[in-house]
Amino acid sequence: MCGRYNIIDDPAIRDLLAYLGIRQYLQTTYNIAPTEMVPVIRQGESGVELCRMRWWLVPSWAKEPSTQYAMFNARAEGLAESRAFRHPFKRQRCILPASSFIEWRKEDGKQPYDIRLREGALALAGLWDCWGEGSETILSCTMITTDAVPGFRHIHSRMPVMLERDMLQQWLNPEIDGRSLMPCLMSNLPGPLQVVPVDTRINSSRVKEKPEPIAAGEIIE
């Protein structure tokens, strides 16, 4: 499960956007939590585009928006069978650009860790859907998770799917059926991860400050 992440307007994020042909900048935002509006990259009618969506997927067939079920993450293993995710998985895939994500480990309470690539920004795999009609439409998304690689399991058993650069165009292409892209969702790292314990203040989603390290981190490869 991944329930928080950060976006920093820096050269790494700008390089990822430029690689995908996006000529916009992202505002630095810390401790992003489910149900908040987030920047999402998807294939639009005129090409790859950046838009804002609610980070908590509302299926197009739902009677009304609801937070009864945790729809901010989608397990990679069940996408093709899930009633909520199977349609978006076929044609409505997206990327959530991120500088880092937060995960917790049970120590003396819940200890948060800030996790980022040692080099570059993260392209996190997601799905999107559109609920409603006319002026009452809601664009929403979910972040896909997979089994953690062995070196990460002492932090958490799950991790977000971090896409390799050479997978991005395929992932966004709606002409490709998602079932043929299952290899993209395997447990894998696009590069070494830097994992740093940070101050527990960010355990509250109301705190929108830069996560402050409290000890030396480690590198996971």
Active site residues: 2, 103
H or E segment to which residue 79 belongs: none
Of 55, 44, 78, whose CA–CA distance to 185 is shortest?
78
Write the CA distances from 76 to 19, 202, 215, integer angstroms. Answer: 25, 27, 32
Instruction: For the chain, state the CA radius of gyration.
Output: 17
The half-sphere exposure of 195 on its side-chain side, counting CA atoms within 13 A, is: 20
Place of tokens 């009618």: 45
